[in-house]
Amino acid sequence: MRTTTSTLSSGHVFAECPRWHEGRLWFVDMHGHTVIAVDEHGESEVITEVPGRTGGIGWLPDGRLLVVQQDARKILRLEPEGLVEHADLSGAVSSMLNDLWVDSSGRAWVGEMGFDPEEFLADPSVVGALMAERVDGPLDVPATSRVFAVEPDGSWRVAAEDLVFTNGIVVDENLGRLYVAETMGARITVFDIGEGGELTGRRELPLGYAPDGIGLDGEGRLWVSDPLHLGAALVGTDGTELDRVGTDQLCLACAVGGEDGLTLYLCTAPTTDSEECARLRAARIDTASLVASAAP
């Protein structure tokens, strides 16, 4: 396992949901309620403030930003005059929305949590199970969760069900696949995407740990954040671990980017407790250098 990382950006409340876009790393400060972009020199810009807990981000084909308003269960769109409602899923979702991926057609894929994770993780036995050397099979959760497909006009439908706490989500357009991390399922679930956006061919890649955010490299392999074991792992198409980078804080999400495509960006934080995060402001964007065989 490699442990050499550098800090690109610090002083955040809870950095999450990173995406490499137009020469910068974009991410959200989930509990700081902002979308931020930082360049490779560490110069950052607050793109927009979000009214409430902030989730995944993506871009429509014309460049407009979409961002998840988690607690309101909505997707917002950034227009010149500010944020407007893009899609309202509050009538169908009783928990919170989570991560988001927008494909080249403008279709947004967004997951729901299914239940309150802070309440669930307040049980010491749950934390103990997740911190075990290996987590075999899904945990017994209060409710399962779903992935929704949101069309460019804001209409939506349920695309996948019976997931065990959907978290990181990415689309590999070269292979026509959608990957979703099931945190309490200790696995990645893979779907084939049909021409009309239907998800088929469901299969599971067991990991043995609880994944959070995920990112694709240039070879179609996944970098998977492993918060409780302080790192991120490169995973092959069969779930085999090929490489791992260690961190000194919880590793909540990751993305591959940089001008040469050889930088792994890691969202890290000392805790998931929102009040403690706000007090410490110790969340960071860390980076690790990759080799050509593990990135574009």
What is the token pair recorded at 33?
């309620």
Q: Nearest to residue 169, comparing CAs of 179, 159, 183? A: 179
The rounded mean pLDDT for the chain is 95
Annotated binding-site residue numbers for substrate? 98, 116
**Phi–psi pair at 271, nearest 5 degrees:** -160, 165
Annotated catalytic residue 140: no
Q: How confident is the model at residue 9 (pLDDT cuts 50, 70, 90)?
A: very high
Q: How far apart are the C-alpha atoms of 102 and 72, rounded to whole Å?
A: 19
pLDDT digits (tens, 9 = 90+) for 187-197: 999 999 999 99
Output DSSP code: residue 183: G
Annotated binding-site residue numbers for a divalent metal cation? 16, 167, 212
Annotated binding-site residue numbers? 16, 98, 116, 167, 212
**Phi–psi pair at 8, nearest 5 degrees:** -95, -40
Q: Hey, what domains does the chain have and what are their CATH numbers?
A: 6-294 (2.120.10.30)
What is the token pair recorded at 274?
């929102």
Q: How far apart are the C-alpha atoms of 153 and 135, rounded to whole Å?
A: 40
Q: How confident is the model at residue 293 (pLDDT cuts 50, 70, 90)?
A: low
* Mean pLDDT computed over 270-280: 96
pLDDT digits (tens, 9 = 90+) for 116-167: 998 999 999 999 999 998 998 899 999 999 999 999 999 999 999 999 999 9
pTM for the full model?
0.95
* Residue of 99, 103, 212, 286 marked active site: 212
